Amino acid sequence: MRYIAITILTSIASLSFSADDARQQLVGTWVGHVDGGAKGHKLTITDTKITGVQNETRDLGEGTFVIDKSQTPWHLDATALKGRDKGSVYTGIYEIKDDTLRWCVATPGKDRPTKFDTKGSQFLLVLKKQP
């Protein structure tokens, strides 16, 4: 019984570390474009929020986010904090390879993307982490 409790606690601790580690991978400033579309995107990600602008002038919004690395591909969902979309949830999938973040997001109310591409009601952001 004691062994089972220790195993469970160890598993919970590693899950917490994994979630924190994943969140820390995202923290920073990312610049790039929509695959096959608009350019000049800049996302600033903190421990709790994502803020976006396009071409340094167009406000793309601000939101909180939740990640889930237990899913494949990993999930990254953002909830708008202001504007006409306040409260809307943008479901997505993401991956990070080296200094590149690929985040494929569906417009609110649409199904979560299953593949990394821009089509229909989803768009793929391809972003490079800034030093």
Closest C-alpha among 63, 57, 58, 17 to residue 44: 63
Residues 6+ apart with CB under 8 A from 110: 91, 120, 121, 122
**What is the pTM assigned to this prediction?**
0.82
Q: How far apart are CA 65 and CA 130, in angstroms?
A: 20
pLDDT, tens only, 75-130: 999 999 998 899 999 999 999 999 999 999 999 999 999 999 999 999 999 999 99
Could you report the per-residue pLDDT of 37-66, keeping only the tens digit for each? 999 999 999 999 999 999 999 999 999 999
**Segments making up each domain of the chain, as ranges:** 2-129
Architecture of the structural domain at 2-129: Beta Barrel (2.40)
